[in-house]
Amino acid sequence: MLDSAGTSEHNAAGAARRGPATRRATPIRSFLDRHFLVFASWPALIIMLAVTAIPFAVSIGLAFTNYDLVRSREWKFIGFQNFDRMIHDPQIPQIIWNTGYLVIGSTILDTVFGLALAVLLDSKIRGTGLIRSLFMLPILTAPIVVALTWRAMFNNEAGWINYFLHLVHLPQPLWLGNPHLAMPAVLISDMWTGIPFQAILLLAGLLGVSNELREAAISEGANRWQVFWHVTLPGIQPVLFIAILLRFIDAFRKFEGIQILTTGGPGISSTPLNLQIYDTGLFYDQVGYAAAMGVLLIVMIAVSVGVLYLVAGRRKGR
């Protein structure tokens, strides 16, 4: 009896000693539990700041200087002189036109043909599984390889495109050397990877549309076009918006294909803004002026994406 009483007193004393420590540890553990995601996201946040936010801030700062790679120690703050120079630069309107041509053209063409391909792959025909796998190949191919392949195909003397045009007795134009055909050639080469990308995204949306709704519409006497327009298309609107948004932003970033296909020529007939920034900053060493054009590019992207969201919001409100 005495032994059991002693043991009880010993346990009670041990619990009393551990009590404050346990009470102190509980708030710390609860705090860590509540803010675990914050602590877990810090490494990614630091990396993001290092590779995006800090260079972004530095670029905006350089836009207000005359920083030059040749005379890097003589740079100084010049205010808005780079932006004033950009306003009076005779090449900027053509470059902005090229950028809009590329972005809008590639987004529309890739989305329309990608949607058509997605509808075809969603139909119940033999071999759709193999076709879906094959259309992944352009996306997996390196952009430089794609550009080199299309450059060979557009060759006016030995290219396959002019060869087939010759077989059907059609003119064989100088695709990459004609100021009026250089940008269409860039769009054609971009469609080879853009259409499959859009098709895969839109196919995922089509697979989520209820077959019962389609069958109900058909039973009510609707034809295939009416079913697509009134049932299928509204059902994939969220996916369609994401596909358009991703393609829209990616078109602003297109660089390798143009650099290899045309290097922005002839002249500046196929030079978008990002390629002009590259040339100005690295070839002409005018980093400050290139940074100012980078600010213009950021503003163009932000305004364009804002317009897309505004249009999408209005359509949802109807």
Q: pLDDT tens-digit profile of 209-256? A: 877 777 787 777 777 787 788 778 888 888 899 999 999 888 988 888
Phi, psi of 220 (to 5 degrees): -85, 0
Tens of pLDDT along 160-212? 888 888 888 888 888 888 889 999 999 998 888 889 889 888 988 888 887 77
Cα torsion 141, 143, 148, 151: sign: positive
pLDDT at residue 283, as a whole number: 86
Tens of pLDDT along 15-69? 444 444 444 446 766 766 666 767 777 787 788 778 788 888 888 898 998 888 7
Average pLDDT over residues 85-91: 91
Of the candidates 273, 243, 266, the one whose C-alpha atom is nearest the C-alpha of residue 102 is: 273
The structural domains of the chain, with segments of one domain joined by +, span 2-74, 85-317
pLDDT at residue 105, as a whole number: 93
Confidence grade of residue 75 (pLDDT, cut at 50, 70, 90): confident
Q: How many residues does the chain have?
A: 318
Of the candidates 89, 101, 122, 133, the one whose C-alpha atom is nearest the C-alpha of residue 206 is: 122
Ramachandran class of 265: left when φ > 0, alpha when ψ lies in -120 to 50, beta otherwise: beta
3-class secondary-structure state, position 212: helix
With contact defined as beta carbons under 8 Å apart, do 78 and 64 qualify? yes
pLDDT at residue 315, as a whole number: 64
Of the candidates 147, 179, 151, 187, the one whose C-alpha atom is nearest the C-alpha of residue 267 is: 179
pLDDT at residue 238, as a whole number: 86
pLDDT at residue 314, as a whole number: 66
pLDDT at residue 141, as a whole number: 82
According to CATH, the superfamily of the domain at 85-317 is: MetI-like (1.10.3720.10)
pLDDT at residue 90, as a whole number: 92
Q: How far apart, in whole angstroms, are the C-alpha atoms of residue 12 and residue 5?
A: 11
Tokens of 99: 């950028």
What string of DSSP letters covers 267-317? Answer: TTTT--HHHHHHIIIIIS--HHHHHHHHHHHHHHHHHHHHHHHHHHHHHHH
Tokens of 6: 């002693």
This prediction has a pTM of 0.78
| Contacts of residue 166, Cβ cutoff 8 Å, sequence gap at least 6 | 172
Would the pLDDT of 12 be above 60? no
pLDDT at residue 88, as a whole number: 92
Tens of pLDDT along 126-161? 766 677 777 778 878 888 888 888 999 998 888 888
Tokens of 244: 């358009």
Tens of pLDDT along 265-293? 888 899 999 999 999 988 888 889 999 99
Of the candidates 283, 303, 284, the one whose C-alpha atom is nearest the C-alpha of residue 295 is: 303
Would the pLDDT of 8 be above 60? no
Of the candidates 85, 61, 89, 88, the one whose C-alpha atom is nearest the C-alpha of residue 75 is: 61
Phi, psi of 25 (to 5 degrees): -75, -30
